[in-house]
Amino acid sequence: MMYLKMYLLSRRAYSGLLFSQGSMATCLRKGKSLIKPCLCRNISLSCQRYTVMASWIIDRYGRNDVLRFTNNMMFPVIHFPNEVIIKVHAASLNPIDVNMRNGYGAAALNAKRDPLKLKSTRSEFPLTLGRDVSGVIMECGLNVSYFKPGDEVWAAVPPWKQGTISEFVVASGNEISHKPKYLSHIEAASIPYVGLTVWSAMKQIGGLNQDNCTGKRILIFGASGGVGTFAIQVMYYNKPSHLCKGIHYRWAFFTPSGQSLDEIAKLVESGKIHPVVQQVFSFSEVPKAFLKLEGGHARGKTVISVINKK
Ligand SMILES: NC(=O)c1ccc[n+]([C@@H]2O[C@H](COP(=O)([O-])OP(=O)(O)OC[C@H]3O[C@@H](n4cnc5c(N)ncnc54)[C@H](OP(=O)(O)O)[C@@H]3O)[C@@H](O)[C@H]2O)c1
């Protein structure tokens, strides 16, 4: 028992170190116990090859041919004590992924990534796209108490962070939420980004809730796409008097929020909101998934089964 405690303490103490997390990844991937013998001085070492993972990346902005698969993407590191590492089971695509591949928002996102210009390398590349994730927590930072390794979670990772079309991703504890139990990872990955966009637009910006929708009219554009299919379900549940022509508008934006996802999870679990998945692609088919999204006429979400490597 004493030995076990010592090991756990040393694992938490080294949670920010790349080599420690690499050894954890190895254990999980091979389905072995996470508990490994302490080596000398309580330091757990792993081979260099375990510090990398499979990922779809871009090395420059451009059209679909800039997407590149690699088995050598640097394994993500916990930099802050409120962060977790998630083993990605499924990710989904949004128009922002196509736009970011093309270079959308690069200057603003780089300013957000490194506001004080402290990094020695000025480049955001190699860059992983993908905002939505459904997966399993592999490791938690020292201040994370609400989640634990092994929890099934869903999240939308903000665009200035490395994305989810990757075997593993780091997210803040504030951005993640427990995945609704009755959804598969594929279904769960279809909701966070569009759900949080609608939540931000309707609840935070529009101030709409279940009690104040009566007599209000709401116009939803692009209702067959990811945002639209979610928005219609929320509005149906809130029951405004008409879903028709609007006369007032304000801009709203996706806001990452684990807390809002908790509320969305309750609606999903009570059967009020259903995932709308149009097509699922395997991890090897990511460029095809981008082409499909770029082709327009979305009728629900495009999801990538990251654990399906075929
Ligand atoms: N600012 C933010 O934070 C934020 C967050 C999420 C999404 N967005 C934006 O919101 C939009 C919708 O996102 P999404 O995820 O729902 O995309 P999506 O899944 O690709 O769906 C887009 C929908 O819009 C329809 N559409 C395309 N052109 C249209 C037009 N001119 N008039 C009316 N409908 C049109 C499409 O159907 P047809 O192609 O058949 O017309 C499709 O149903 C995108 O522009 C996205 O970039 C912004």
Note the pLDDT tens digit of each residue in 144-154. 999 999 999 99
Note the pLDDT tens digit of each residue in 247-262. 667 788 899 999 999 9
Share of the chain above pLDDT 90, in %: 67
The beta strands (E) that lie in 46-131 are given as: 52-58, 67-74, 83-93
Residue 158 near residue 256 (C-beta atoms within 8 A): yes
Query: Rounded distance, CA 147 to CA 174, Å?
Result: 11
298 lines ligand 1 (CB under 6 A): yes
Distance between start and end Cα atoms, the chain: 42
The ranges assigned to domains in the chain are 1-46, 192-277
pLDDT (average), residues 140-145: 96
Query: Rounded distance, CA 87 to CA 46, Å?
Result: 18
- Spell 151-163 as b/e; 16+ CB within 10 A means b: bbbbbbbbbebbb
Token representation of residue 114: 């490194």
- Higher-pLDDT residue of 220 and 174 is 174
pLDDT at 235: 86
Q: Which class for 149: exposed (0-12), middle (13-18), buried (19 or more C-beta within 10 A)?
A: middle
Q: Is 151 helix (H, G, I), strand (E, B) or coil?
A: coil
**What CA dihedral angle connects 255, 258, 261 and 266, to 10 degrees?**
-150
Q: Which atom of ligand 1 is nearest to the CA of 299?
A: 43
The architecture CATH gives domain 192-277: 3-Layer(aba) Sandwich (3.40)
pLDDT at 136: 98
* Cα(134) to centroid(ligand 1), Å: 22
The protein residue with its alpha carbon nearest to ligand 1, atom 46, reads 95
Query: Rounded distance, CA 204 to CA 59, Å?
Result: 36
* Cα(136) to centroid(ligand 1), Å: 30
- Residues contacting 9, CB < 8 A, separation 6+: none
Cis peptide, bond prior to residue 126, ω within 30 of zero: yes
* Cα(225) to centroid(ligand 1), Å: 6
